[in-house]
Amino acid sequence: MLSKQQLRGLVLEEIILILLSKAGYRILKSGEDTSIRDGSSGLETQGRGEWHQIDALVAYDHTPAFLYPIRLALEAKAYLPTPNSNGKVGIGVIRNAVGVVKDLNENYFSDREQTLKLKRYNYVYSIFSLSGFTENAQRYAVAHQIYLIQYHHNYLFDNIKNLLSQLEGTTARELRQLDIRRGLRLVLENPDQHRGNLQEIFRNEAELIRELLDEVRYIGSSYFGLLNGEYPVHIFSERPINNLDRDEYVIPIWVDENGMVIIELMNNNLYFELPEVVAQILKEVWTDNLRVANLKRRNLSFITLSGIIGNVRRNIRLTLDLNWLDQYLSAQQNIE
């Protein structure tokens, strides 16, 4: 039987899948190929040594030439602060992710003939958290290239956090995870036709789930950015980005009192945040790079923003002043 915390994480994963879809990722399902199947708890993916439960799996179908197609395995943790816990994700979750992604990326032999496979994938792993990550979890994740995305200070997630904290899931927790996920996705694909599924799964909490899904629709749009070509961030906008006539913009960036990074693009505010230890590590790396950098560009950083822009999949470069990292770290210290 699912715990209350596990059910909340499952619902959060389905919310994140919606946001990933908005950013141009494709949700993978059982039967895409022989390496993916349904298990009692959701998808299972074949590694070199064993099949692994993957909470959710998406593909990015526009991989550059000479690279294996990218598959992103993800899990979400809806841990919330309590009198006895700060809700941060610990190192144990990261250790599990390291072992799984290593085995997945070593699955390059066929099962029987032991001949090399032509069709391979580059698996990456990301963990999403409502309340951030412990310091040792962050350091371990950076060392092993497990990507951490957090919504700790993101005001767009305030109502989502509040609603998830109310979810008890007494009836839903008795069902298989796979059945809960299928029911939620049917509702997301066609709310009018499948809204009754929520009643079957969540009973008296069906309206709460409807409110959660509505909160996702209130988020203007979802994009992913790569900081200086090194670290991914999940970026939200107040409204969809449209009408961009260039591929590179120099834009203002600042950090608010709540620890959110805000960048302004064409009169539209974009928001993201970083785990604080990750931010500190990036600052140290970039500072070292500045010592040998060209004088003209030494005070600059950039984000490569990817997603659906003007109904077209695009990548644009946002050039930023490097000082925002100092502001961000200072804000995090003040909040803590």
pLDDT in tens, 172-203: 999 999 889 988 888 877 777 777 888 899 99
Give the C-alpha separation, 129 to 152, whole Å.
7
Q: Over the stretch 262-316, which tens digit does the pLDDT of each residue have?
A: 999 988 999 999 999 998 888 887 766 655 555 444 456 899 999 999 888 899 9
* Model pLDDT, residue 288: 63
Domains, the chain, in order of start with CATH, read 4-218 (3.40.1350.10), 221-335 (no CATH)
Residue 93 has pLDDT above 70, yes or no: yes
The β-bridge relationship of strands 300-309 and 221-227 is antiparallel
Q: Note the residue count of the chain.
A: 336
Entry pTM: 0.91
